Structure 1
Amino acid sequence: MGHARDSRYAARSQDDLLRLLATQPFAWLVSAGGEDAAFTPLPLRAECDAQGRLVALRGHVARRNPHVARLRRDGRAQALVMGPHAYVSPSWLDDRTQAPSWNYAAAVFELDVVVSEEEADIRAELDALVTQMEAGRPRAWSLQEMGERYARLATGVTALRGDVRAVRATFKLGQDEARHDFAQLLLGLQAGGEDELVAWMRDFAGDAA
């Protein structure tokens, strides 16, 4: 990510990364290089230690997925998370000499992944993911409702945990825009239904929004 080197677009704190993971949990797990390179889209959850520091990403993948064998051979992987994003049109501005752009939030997590087929690890991961995704829903569903069917389906799943070695994140959310232009861009994005991106932009702008 080219903008990752620009401090204007850095995460303000770990909270921005945790919010990104919570609101956009579906990511790419990438094991690049070699003849068994593997790329799997899957949901990932943040794991924090007792001090609240992000230490790992957790998830699960089908046991028959060739990516599992790659991770057993080489646990080094990256998780690519793409948050809200949208095209930014100069047509929304009074100054139509400006160039178009793209606002977005994204992160790359460098991981050391360990996979497990232990029943307890699989159950804990699936239960935690369901609990996270069902939170706040009317008539929220729980894993226990699967009954006997759970045991059959769980045999096809592998749990995984990736220790976070490093993070590169970009939150390009209009920090370089003049206040007047920023307000016009917000209106344009709102008209296009980009409410989530607008919310991130307003949050990063703070009082300037």
Structure 2
Amino acid sequence: MRQNPSFAMADVGEIRRLIEQNPWVTLVSATDDGLVASHYAVLLDPDRDDLTIVGHVGKPDDLIHGLGERELLVVVQGPHGYVSPGWYGDVQSVPTWNFVSAHLSGVPEILTPQENLEVLERLVARFESAMPQPRLMWEAPNDPEFVRRLEKGTVGFRLTPTRVVGKRKLSQNKSDEIVETVIAGLEAGTGPYADPRLAGEMRRDLDTRKAAR
């Protein structure tokens, strides 16, 4: 991802927030047969305060990616959406696309079966916690044999990135007045490009920049 100093997102806390709120990522590897990509959920490593993530892939994706043997690119995609030139007022302008994204690159470490089980358990707990009656991984009707059989079909990994590119393109190159208009357009519930999550990111960024002046 080409970086632009005006849109750079280098704060570790902000990138951690991005990962926490957008755990469904794209895994990309360069192989002898060309590029391969897969999609999985990841979590921040609870024992670290950096950008280390943990996750798993289903077999044989571990072999397809050469997991643990070559560099893995993890693409984290946050809120994104179309920005109409009509929101800029009666001035010369073109459409654009606002977004928040991060690329994490490094050679992942393969987890032991027990570590992988712990990651799988955390993944289930993370997403089931929002359900009115959570079904956790070890709870009936699942039994230990069933769970361990599932684990054997997956490979867990831990990635501490050696390269990180974070980008937050949220109309920072526009005046505060225009940013407010874009936010209003994204918040319009009946609009074709309404996106409250993207509007919220723009509001957060604008308020932060105002406070720093």
Q: Does 1:142 align with 2:174?
A: no
Contact 1:38 1:67 in 2 (8 A): no
- Structure 1 range deviating more: 94-103 or 83-92: 94-103
Distance 1:176 1:48, change over 3 A: farther
* Worse-matched range after superposition: 147-156 or 179-188: 147-156
Is the 1:38–1:66 contact (alpha carbons within 8 Å) kept by the matching residues of 2? no
Cα RMSD of the aligned pairs, angstroms, is 2.2
**Structure 1 position 82 matched with structure 2 position 77:** yes
Distance change in 2, residues 1:204/1:125 (3 Å): same
| 1:44 corresponds to | 42
Aligned to 2:86: 91
Between the aligned residues of both structures, percent identity stands at 25
The CA deviation string for residues 1-52 of structure 1, in whole angstroms up to 9 with x for no partner, is 23x2x222122521110111011111111111422643211111122655x2
The answer to whether the 8 A contact 2:110-2:158 is kept is yes
Using the TM superposition, give the Cα deviation of residue 132 of structure 1 relative to its aligned residue in structure 2, in angstroms: 2.3
- The aligned runs of 1:159-170 (5 Å cut-off) are 159-170=156-167
Paired residues, number:
203
Q: TM-score, normalised by structure 2?
A: 0.85
Structure showing the higher strand proportion among its residues: 1
Which of 113, 119, 134 does residue 119 from structure 1 map onto?
A: 113
Cα deviations by residue, 1:88-135 (Å, 9 ceiling, x for unpaired): 00122322422211100011101111224x331221110121222233
Give the secondary structure class of the aligned counterpart of 2:45.
Answer: strand
Q: Which runs of 5+ in 1 are unaligned?
A: none
SS at match of 1:11: coil
Aligned partner letter, 1:81: V
Q: Flag as ranges the 4+ runs of structure 1 deviating above 6 A.
A: none
**Cα distance between partner residues in 2 of 1:121 and 1:48:** 13
1:141 Cα deviation from its structure 2 partner: 2.8
The amino acid that maps onto 2:165 is R
SS in 2 for 1:84: strand
Q: State whether residues 54 and 157 of structure 2, in contact with CA within 8 Å, keep that contact through their aligned partners in structure 1.
A: yes
